[in-house]
Amino acid sequence: MDELAYKISNIINMCGGEYIWQFVAVALIFLPCRKRRLWGVRYICGLACIVLSAVFVPIPFPDRWAVVYYAVYFVLFAAFNALVYKYKPVQVLFISLCMYCLQYLISCLSYAAIFTVVGLKGDYGVYWIYYYIMPLIIVLVDVMAYFIVVRRIKCAGDIQFNNSFIIFIACAFVIAASFLTYWVRVTLWYPYSLAALMGIGVLLAIIVLITLFMNIKAVWLSQENIVLTKMLEKDKAHYEQLKISNEKIQIKYHDMKKLQKDGIMDFEGLSGIKEAHEVLVNTYYTGNTALDIVLSEKSMMCDRLGIDFVCTADGSAVGFMKPHHIYSLMVNAIENCIESVRRREDHREIEVVVVRKDDMCVIKTVNYTDAEKLEFKDGVPATTNANKEEHGFGVKSMKEIVTRYGGDINFSIDNHYFTLVAIIPVPSSYAKDGPRKQ
C-alpha cells in the first residue's frame, strides 16, 4: 500500500472508522445553522463522545448487527444535533437525515469509484487508491452540499414540513441504506456489480434529499397560499363594505344638492354633510370604483395623520383587473408607504401613480425611508418588522396578484426614496377605454 494512503487509513481507523469520519466531515458544513448557547462546548463534547464510542465499539463487520450499528449511530448524531442546534425535535431529525444522506452519498460515490478502478485494473491490489479518492469526494460533496442544502436550511429559518412524512422517510432511509451497505459487504465481490449497487445508493441518497426539500417547498407554498387567500377574501369583503358606505354618502350628498336646488334648506342634513366633509374632500373619481374607494380611504387616512398624499390615477388603466385584486394590491402598496413615514417629523409625503402607457398598466408608489439599501428574501424586500413570521405577507400578496396578471413588480431605493413599480400587461381584448365589443 502507498505510504500516504496507509497513514490516511490509520487516521480514519483511529477516529472510529469511515462512517464516523464521513459523518463528522459532513457535520462541519452545518455549523452556520442556528445554534444554541455555548454551542462550542456542546459541539466538542458531543463529537468527542461519539468518536470515543466508535473507537471502543468498532463496527461489527461483517456481522448482521452492522445494520443496528448504523441505526444506533444515526440516533446518536441526531442527539448531537439536538444538543448543538436550536431547532424543534422534528427539525433536528430533518437536519440529521440530510447529514446521513450526504454521508451515504460520500460513501457510495467513493466505493463506486474505487470498485470501477478495481474492475478496470482487474486487481484488488490497487484498493489503496480509495484513501485518496474518498477525501477528495468528501471535499466536493461538502462544497456542493453547503450551497444546495445548508444555505437553504439556514435561510429557511423555521423549517416547516409534513412531520409524519419526515419521520417515515427517516426510518425508511436508515433501514434501506443500512441493509444495502450490509448486503454489499457480505454477499458480492464482483467489482462492477459492487460499483452498480453503489450507484443505486447514490441515486437513493439524492432522491431522498430532493424529496425532503420538495416537501418543505410544498408545505411552505400551501401555508402561504392559505394566508394569501384569506387576505384576498378579507380585502374583498372590506371592499364591498366600503363600496356600500361610499354609495350611501353619494346618495346623501345628491339628495342635499337636490333640496338646495329646489330652495329647501335642510339644516339638519347640512350638519350631516359637514360631518361627511372630510370624506367628500378626499373622494377620488378615477373611473374605477375599486380604485376610487382605496384612494379615498387612504387619502383620508393621510389627511388625519398630516401626510401629504400626492396622487395621479387613471382608473381605466386597471379596468381589466378584478375589483378585489385592485383593492388588495393598492391597499398593501399605500399602507406600506404610510407605515414608513407616519412616525417621521420630516419627508411626510407619499406619491401614488396609476397610469397606462401603451399596452402596459404602471402602478408606482414612492416614500422616504432611512434605509440606504434593500435586503431581499425570496425575491421581495425582507420585512423590517420584529415579528417576521407574522408580517411580510403584504408584499408577497402584491407580488402574487401582479404575477397572476402576467406582470412584474420591482423594488428599489435611490437617495433614501423607496420606490415600488408594478408593470402589468393590459390584455389585448381590453381596449383603452374598456373591454372591446365582440
pLDDT at residue 238 tops 80: no
**Which residues, including other chains, have CB under 8 Å from residue 312's CB and lie 6 or more apart?**
352, 353, 354, 355
- Cα–Cα dist 413/348, whole Å: 17
Among 69, 51, 52, CA closest to 60: 69
335 and 197: one domain? no
182 and 78: one domain? yes
Within 10 angstroms of residue 357's Cβ, the number of other Cβ atoms is 10
The answer as to whether 257 is a domain residue is no
pLDDT at residue 437 tops 50: no
| Longest distance between any two alpha carbons in the chain, whole Å | 114
> What's the rounded mean pLDDT across residues 326-335?
90
CATH code, domain carrying 332: 3.30.565.10
Residues 202 and 108 sit within 8 Å (Cβ to Cβ): yes
Straight-line distance from the first to the last Cα atom of the chain, in angstroms, rounded to the nearest whole number: 84
Residues 198 and 115 sit within 8 Å (Cβ to Cβ): yes
Percent of the chain with pLDDT strictly greater than 90: 28
The answer as to whether 272 is a domain residue is no
- Cα–Cα dist 166/433, whole Å: 54
pTM assigned to the model = 0.57
15 and 157: one domain? yes
Give the per-residue pLDDT at 62. Answer: 52
> What's the rounded mean pLDDT across residues 255-260?
67
> What's the rounded mean pLDDT across residues 270-274?
51
> What's the rounded mean pLDDT across residues 247-272?
62
The answer as to whether 263 is a domain residue is no
pLDDT tens for each residue of 372-420: 776 766 556 765 554 444 445 678 788 888 988 999 999 988 888 999 9
183 and 314: one domain? no
Residues 219 and 165 sit within 8 Å (Cβ to Cβ): no
Percent of the chain with pLDDT strictly greater than 70: 75
Question: Residue 175 sits in which domain range?
Answer: 3-224
- Cα–Cα dist 23/16, whole Å: 11
Of 189, 207, 224, the residue that ends a domain is 224
Count up the domains in the chain and report the number: 2
- The b-or-e profile of 288-321 (16+ CB within 10 A means b, else e) is bbbbbbbbbbbbbbbeeeebebebebbbbbbbbb
pLDDT tens for each residue of 144-181: 999 988 888 876 666 777 778 778 888 888 888 888 87
66 and 202: one domain? yes
Residues 81 and 28 sit within 8 Å (Cβ to Cβ): no
The answer as to whether 157 is a domain residue is yes
The answer as to whether 266 is a domain residue is no
Among 99, 104, 107, 101, CA closest to 79: 99
Least confident of 129-138, 201-210, 262-271: 262-271
For residue 148, CA distances in Å to 115, 145, 224, 303, 414 come to 28, 5, 23, 50, 33
Give the per-residue pLDDT at 377. Answer: 62
pLDDT tens for each residue of 83-103: 999 888 888 888 999 999 999
166 and 83: one domain? yes
Residue with cell 377605454: 433
Give the per-residue pLDDT at 438. Answer: 36
Sign for the pseudo-dihedral over CA of 57, 8, 184, 139: positive
pLDDT at residue 1 tops 50: yes
- Cα–Cα dist 154/152, whole Å: 5
Return mean pLDDT, the chain: 80
Least confident of 24-38, 318-332, 387-401: 387-401
Give the per-residue pLDDT at 350. Answer: 95
CA angle 304, 351, 368 (to 5 degrees): 85
